[in-house]
Amino acid sequence: MLDCDPKDWRDILELIEKYLKEMGKVVPDLEKAVRSLVEYHVTLITSGAVILYERFTKLLADNDSYD
């Protein structure tokens, strides 16, 4: 990726998706991916293992990329 011009995630995305499929992994659609991220953060918050404000800020930052 560093050798690509322009340097962009999309340049290698197809190869990554192909590799994941070959490894038997499912590439989630956007809705499922966001839902998984939210569930992950909420689980940490409700377990008391993290500081609520810090984790909620991280959740918002992670999901900001999907707007």
pLDDT at 28: 85
Rounded Cα distance, 66 and 57, in Å: 15
In whole angstroms, give the CA distance from residue 61 to residue 57: 6
Assigned token pair, 52: 């609520």
Global pTM?
Answer: 0.58
Q: What is the DSSP letter of 19?
A: H
| pLDDT score at 25 | 92
Question: Rounded to whole angstroms, what are the CA distances from 56 to 7, 26, 59, 62?
Answer: 31, 27, 5, 10
Residues 29-67 pLDDT 10s: 888 888 888 898 889 889 988 898 898 888 888 777 665
**pLDDT of 23 strictly over 90:** yes
* Predicted local distance difference test score (pLDDT) of residue 3: 64
At a CB cut-off of 8 Å and minimum separation 6, what does 33 contact?
A: 66
3-state class of 27 per DSSP? coil
